[in-house]
């Protein structure tokens, strides 16, 4: 059974132990380990992964994840707002609002979903699937918020808070300082130089538009791997956007690795059932 096919769901068959590897290689239990939360009500996770497009195949009354997305957005905002409020007591509303906006944007949420492999489990209509919906940033960002909502309903605010802070503490340096992307190229180079003196490489991918209104697309790579792309009205702006995306990708990877290590340690100690 392939994850994400309309009508199939996660294929739990009423028992977690019955979940074996499926096409694509990832089981529902492994997804829960990546999330760091084992659902007492698995139907909530399935609903969170159900894209609104399924109504085209299964009928207008088919439940989907928009309501959970609405709830998850509020929970996400609450958790991060409280964390920022408590971590930075000397800052006013303006800087705190800016910091929260930098942390919670569609690009960041989509990157978080990609790092956890959520796209593989999305339930989509056939037409949405055929047009690349499984990798569409908007669908992935919505699914991330819906998963937050599902965890909140399943485990309450403490569980949702653990999940959110696990993802965002890793992605934004443990929140000991306000997240800032004002100099993304400098931040990216500093992050990469912790591993090697080799600098990131920026490449102009494309230019478009008339001379008076040019748009540039640039990519940034490190050791032969492309980490991000960005667009802008100048080459410098496009490089900055590419660096910004690379920072989100690298920090999300770090969060995913930490969550997987924590889940593995819990499983070894009997913490996962």
Q: Does 208 lie in the same domain as 158?
A: no
Residue 107: closest CA among 134, 137, 76, 130: 137
> Do residues 141 and 109 touch, judged by C-beta distance below 8 A?
yes
Q: Is residue 211 part of a domain?
A: yes
Q: Which of 155, 177, 199 is the last residue of a domain?
A: 177
For residues 170-185, give the mean pLDDT: 64
Q: Which of 104-108, 121-125, 208-212 has the highest mean pLDDT?
A: 121-125
Residue 196 has pLDDT above 50, yes or no: yes
For residues 41 and 162, membership in a common domain is answered with yes
The parent domain of residue 234 ranges over: 184-252
Please check whether residue 98 is in contact with residue 84, taking contact to mean a CB–CB distance below 8 angstroms.
Answer: no
Number of structural domains (the chain) is 2
pLDDT of residue 175: 60
Mean pLDDT of 217-236: 92
Highest mean pLDDT among 27-31, 51-55, 152-156, 225-229: 152-156
Q: What is the mean pLDDT of residues 245-267?
A: 70
Tally of CB atoms within 10 A around 174: 11
Judge whether 150 and 45 are in contact, CB under 8 Å: yes
Active site residues: 73, 145
- Residue 96 contacts residue 82 (beta carbons within 8 Å): no
Asked if residue 82 lies in contact with residue 160, where contact means CB atoms within 8 angstroms, the answer is no
In-domain check, residue 226:
yes
Q: Does residue 3 fall inside a structural domain? A: no
Mean pLDDT in residue range 73-94: 89
Q: 261 lies in a domain?
A: no
What is the structure's pLDDT at 266? 59
| Residue 273 reports pLDDT greater than 50 | no
Q: Sheet containing 201-208: give its strands across.
A: 201-208, 215-222, 225-232
**CATH code at position 218:** 3.30.160.20
Residues 75 and 147 in one domain: yes
User: What is the SS3 string spanning 123-150?
Assistant: ECCHHHHHCCHHHCHHHHHHHHHHHHHH
């Amino acid at each position: 059974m392939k994850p994400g096919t309309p009508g199939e769901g996660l294929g739990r068959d009423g028992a977690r132990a019955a979940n074996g590897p499926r096409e694509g290689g990832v089981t529902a239990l492994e997804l829960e380990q990546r999330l760091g939360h084992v659902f007492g009500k698995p139907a909530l996770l399935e609903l969170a992964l159900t894209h609104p497009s399924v109504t085209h195949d299964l009928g207008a009354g088919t439940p989907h994840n928009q309501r959970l997305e609405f709830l998850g957005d509020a929970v996400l905002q609450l958790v991060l707002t409280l964390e920022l409020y408590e971590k930075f007591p000397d800052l006013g509303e303006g800087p705190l609002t800016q910091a929260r906006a930098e942390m919670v944007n569609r690009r960041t949420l989509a990157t978080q979903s990609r790092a956890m492999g959520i796209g593989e489990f999305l339930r989509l209509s056939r037409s949405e699937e055929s047009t690349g919906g499984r990798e569409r940033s908007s669908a992935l960002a919505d699914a991330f918020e819906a998963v937050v909502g599902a965890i909140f309903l399943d485990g309450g605010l403490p569980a949702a808070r653990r999940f959110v802070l696990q993802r965002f503490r890793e992605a934004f340096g443990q929140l000991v300082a306000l997240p800032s992307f004002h100099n993304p190229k400098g931040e990216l180079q500093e992050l990469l130089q912790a591993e090697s003196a080799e600098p990131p490489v920026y490449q102009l991918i494309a230019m478009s538009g008339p001379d008076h209104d040019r748009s540039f697309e640039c990519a940034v790579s490190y050791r032969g791997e492309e980490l991000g792309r960005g667009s802008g009205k100048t080459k410098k702006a496009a490089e900055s956007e590419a660096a910004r995306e690379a920072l989100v990708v690298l920090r999300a990877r770090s969060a995913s690795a930490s969550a997987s290590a924590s889940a593995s340690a819990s499983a070894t100690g009997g913490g996962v059932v």
